Amino acid sequence: MLQKYSNRQSKIGDDNMGYSYELLANRSKYSGIEPTIVHVTPKHINQRQEKTYTHSQDEFIYIIEGTIHLLYDGKKHLMVKGDSAYFQGSKPHLFIPVNDEKAQVLAFFIDRV
């Protein structure tokens, strides 16, 4: 289904806590994919501690803009514009700002079959 930018809900979340995000499409009951843009807060205003997340879906990410560290399963990976990763969301992970520039990450959350 078509999702016009003007009809899409703007950012959700709190920049001071490390990130906000935009849902790029309404979740379909037929597909198990949830496309999202994650806005990673610049380091100087990020108040979030390095507490990781887990969720039941697999996750594919593509760095649209900026640089992040992907903290995944206890290891830190530097990712720059154009890099991508596919991983299990059930393992602890977090996007960490590298510098005082914002970063944008295209993320697809994919239900496991």
Average pLDDT value over all residues in the chain: 84
Length of the chain: 113
Question: Does the residue 52 lie in any domain?
Answer: yes
> For residue 103, how many other CB atoms are within 10 A of its CB?
24
Q: Judge whether 4 lies within some domain.
A: no
- Give the chain's domain count: 1
Q: What pLDDT, on the 0 to 100 scale, is given for residue 7?
A: 67
CA distance 96 to 43: 8
**Domain range holding 30?**
9-110
Does the residue 1 lie in any domain?
A: no
Residues 53-87 have pLDDT tens digits of 899 999 999 999 999 999 999 999 999 999 999 99
Average pLDDT, integer, range 91-103: 92
Helix/strand/coil for 94: strand
